[in-house]
Amino acid sequence: MYLRAVHAEQNTATLQQFVRANPLGIFTTAIDSNAFPFLQSSHIPFVLDVDESLDQTHLGVLRGHIARANPQAKALIEHLKSASGRGGDSANDSRILSRDVMVLFNGPAHHYVTPKFYRETKPATGKVVPTWNYSAVQVYGRATIFHDTKAAATTAYLDKQIRDLSLQCEVDIMGHSEKPWQVDDAPASYTELLKKAIIGVQIEIKDIGGKYKMSQEMPAGDREGVVEGFEALESDFGTEMAKIVKEKMMMSGN
């Protein structure tokens, strides 16, 4: 991700909150395989764990799961079994990928920006071009894959993962704080069967970066024009974009 200084978000806590507010990440791997594509991506909702008790900033651990039938999952399992057979990762943990993975989280509001919005520069020089405003956070880390259905660690991981993810989505997204749907509301035999059809993905975050590309690079008059332009669209996206651009203007003091 290109992190131009004017757009980059430097506060780790803000980046972590962005991930929690937008938990659907694009999980990307690069794995050599004769049977599957080298590059693969899947949309996965994640739970972010952050250890606040540490003296230094903890970037966090992402927890998710994907379908065992997913070609990306098959490539992951193939890679781990092959490495373990060669004695590569088995000395440490045969569930840990040898290469880093990437997860991209996108903000819900993004929009094309027409040069017609720029009320300062366009009339003065005409030296403006279209762009696209958006927000995103990118994470790199080392992944542990829980895929052995006979392993106690896999059972424990998946049980905690699906319970925590369900509660997070029920409360934080749906607002069901009093009576959220819980895994135990479904028959145990049914959920146990479904757990065998997924694998766990746990990512220890090694690097996190993000940006709000919201016209901060433009002069104050142009940014005001962007806010007015988005508001004039009278759409949900337009209203949200105008709000974020305005917030970034206030943070910059202009």
Q: 143 pairs with which residues across the strands?
A: 203
pLDDT in tens, 65-78: 999 999 999 999 99
End-to-end CA distance of the chain: 26
* Ordered domains of the chain (ranges, CATH): 8-115+130-218 (2.30.110.10)
pTM (predicted TM-score): 0.92
Query: What's the burial of 54, exposed, middle or buried (CB within 10 Å: 0-12/13-18/19+)?
Result: exposed
HSE at residue 32, side-chain half, CA atoms within 13 A, is: 4
pLDDT in tens, 203-234: 999 999 999 999 999 999 999 999 999 999 99
pLDDT (average), residues 22-38: 96
Helix axes 220-232, 236-252, angle to 10 degrees: 160
Residue 86, pLDDT > 80, answer no
